[in-house]
Amino acid sequence: MAAANLGSTGADAAERGATHVPGRKPAPAASAYCAPGAIVPGATPAAQGGAEHVETPVAYDAILLAGFGGPEGQDDVIPFLRNVTSGRGIPDERLEEVAHHYRHFGGVSPINQQNRDLKAALEAELAARGIDLPVLWGNRNWDPYVNDALAEAKERGFTKLIAIATSAYSSYSSCRQYREDFADALADTGTAETIQIDKVRQFFDHPGFVQPFVEGVRDAVAQLEADHPGIDRRNEIEVLFATHSIPSTDAAKSGPAERGFGEGGAYAAQHAAVAEVVMREAGVSEVPWQLVYQSRSGPPSMPWLEPDINDAIEELPAAGRKAIVIVPLGFVSDHMEVLWDLDNEALETAGEHGLAAVRVPTPGHHPAYVAGLVDLVVERLEGTPVAERPAVTDLGPWYDVCRPGCCENVRLGFRPALAGIAP
């Protein structure tokens, strides 16, 4: 495949095209630079050939922690939501319909502080293992942005980064859009030919991510049984595994098409597979469970993944349920979709229908989760053979390099992206 570049013939030309302004979301990149002979844009030599799993060691010199970002004051809320919905032409008055979630908490999303805590925990884990890799942090939608992190990398002379996106599953918004962010940031900072970025595999079924949920479900069922003596876990408790809903068309495009995941794509299949493991490992396989969705934001005319968690809760009393366990399986931390959509709306719905409810914690900076993220970095540092990589479902270990056409956004098509074979 022919190399695609930024229209420059060298790093100096790329530098002249840089438009980076600190504290500002970068514009979409027009293209992504591919090294001569490579088929993976922006990749290190070990990943440029597009192998599913890179089993060659790579001497990275920094970690890029990529987050979603969130407002940190009332004045930030609307500008933040404009970033989130960029290119969709949504007027501010409609954004205010979502803004009240943030305004309820003083305009402050907890997500940035959670990422600060995760960054500190990663740094401590790396230091404990004697791994000398600094952690750079950049967000998609709020300060500090990914392009700010790459500007820091440029200033410090880092040229090979391994990225961790704070999202475990395969879909446009949870994987490919981060890969687009990397391409945007390289173009914005003029570093497309001087900085290479690989990305750790999607970690939905890595033991470090799954273990906190196993502990949470086990403890939640035990709590309900202690609080409600005589409750029958086989018929009166139900576990609801909740994740962010996405458009059905995008879900169908998640993951490689050749895997044939069906209507919900890899996104739904990955969640369902992990939920089965959680129930088994928590020792509660006899408890009924289902996968539910939350936080949809599209127009009613556009199909999104269902059932909505609130609709599912409303139907449970008729099935004889008396209590529920809510598991935020699609989320790595207690950000706004957890605090508002689950802790506020879903728990309120449960109360209205006479159901006792317990919400399980997200991984946050649980030691197993933090250690697991470092394990994923070490896989690439050492070129760990795929046969030696841990995965708790039959779907993994997932790909180091995303496959061609993976996780297309049906509405927008394919934009330039790193860490995967084009498009």
> Are the beta carbons of 74 and 103 closer than 8 angstroms?
yes
Residue 12 has a pLDDT of 43
Assign 240 to helix, strand or coil: strand
Residue 301 has a pLDDT of 86
pLDDT band at residue 17 under the 50/70/90 scheme: low
pLDDT tens-digit map of 179-221: 999 999 999 999 999 999 999 999 999 999 999 999 999 999 9
Q: Looking at residues 262-279, what average pLDDT do you find?
A: 97
pLDDT tens-digit map of 41-94: 999 999 999 999 999 999 999 999 999 999 999 999 999 999 998 878 889 888
Q: Going by C-beta distance under 8 Å and a sequence separation of 6 or more, which residues neighbour residue 295?
A: 244, 245, 337, 341
Answer whether residue 5 shows pLDDT above 50.
no
**How far is it, in rounded angstroms, from Cα 353 to Cα 357?**
11
Residue 411 has a pLDDT of 87
Q: Which pTM was predicted? A: 0.94
Asked if the bond preceding 71 is cis, omega within 30° of 0, the reply is no
Q: Write down the architecture of domain 11-70+109-202+367-388 according to CATH.
A: 3-Layer(aba) Sandwich (3.40)
Output the CATH code of domain 207-359.
Answer: 3.40.50.1400
Burial status of residue 235 (CB atoms within 10 A of its CB: 0-12, 13-18, 19 or more) = middle
Cite the residue boundaries of each domain of the chain with CATH code 3.40.50.1400: 11-70+109-202+367-388, 207-359
Q: Going by C-beta distance under 8 Å and a sequence separation of 6 or more, which residues neighbour residue 306?
A: 245, 293
